[in-house]
Amino acid sequence: MKTKVYDHKGKEARSIDLPDTLFGLDWNADLVHQVVVGMQSNARTNTAHTKDRSEVSGGGKKPWRQKGTGQARHGSKRSPIWSGGGITFGPRNERNYDKKINTKMRRKALLVALSQKMRDGQVLFVDGFETASGKTKDMQAVFDSLEKVSGFETLNTKKHNNVFFTVPGLTDIVKNAAKNLFHVSLADIANINVVDVLNHRYLVLADPEKTVEFLETKLTTKN
């Protein structure tokens, strides 16, 4: 399939052929859901922890004698029904949330997500994205120009996760230029994943040839 490539002024510069193996796959909701849930589970930090009745302090002495007080029988103030007692079925930090995700599944889920974004008209290819100054105002000026492209009028909406912007070989200059743009998430193309693709409204991919070459090499080769 053919798609347009734009320059930093938001004008069509040329076109590029995209392989169907990268951007022409059918939507597979079950696969994408399984991979996304697995990745989010693996990224989960298990810090919440409660103490059960064997871990709370106190409780060595029976609160009162078994009979004759008119009160219910209790053997320890560590009981979960007592204030300050142990917690029943509370979160424990030894719980393992890791899920196994096959490499082929992870790769195909990313390609399926990219293909769907392409069909939805939410992928924008831009020529080399080097800003020599490394200043935020220069990077913002580029995104203001790209907003003129049909279908990307809301590219600069100040909303978190509005734009996922990838660059092959990410440099400190580009990092400095984009780090203060609230609505833009910046990453090297090598770190793109299905969760980031789905969590953002638009994808802005710099250096189309290098991007396509990387995706073909890393995601479609059989190993």
- Can you give the pTM of this predicted structure? 0.83
pLDDT more than 70, % of the chain: 97
32 near 39, Cβ under 8 Å? no
| Cα→Cα distances 173→91, 131, 170, 201, Å | 44, 7, 8, 25
185 sits in which H/E element: strand 184-188
Domain ranges in the chain are 2-44+99-219, 48-96
- SS3 (DSSP) at 125: strand
Residue 52 CA to its chain's centroid (Å): 34
Per-residue pLDDT tens for 48-87?
999 999 999 987 889 999 999 999 999 999 999 999 999 9
Contact assessment for residue 169 and residue 213, using Cβ atoms and an 8 Å cutoff: no
Query: What gap in Å lies between CA 223 and CA 217, rounded to an integer?
Result: 11
Q: What is the pLDDT of residue 130?
A: 63
Q: How far apart are CA 20 and CA 33, in angstroms?
A: 22
What mean pLDDT, rounded, does the chain reach? 91
CATH code for residues 2-44+99-219: 3.40.1370.10
pLDDT confidence bin for 184, thresholds 50/70/90: very high
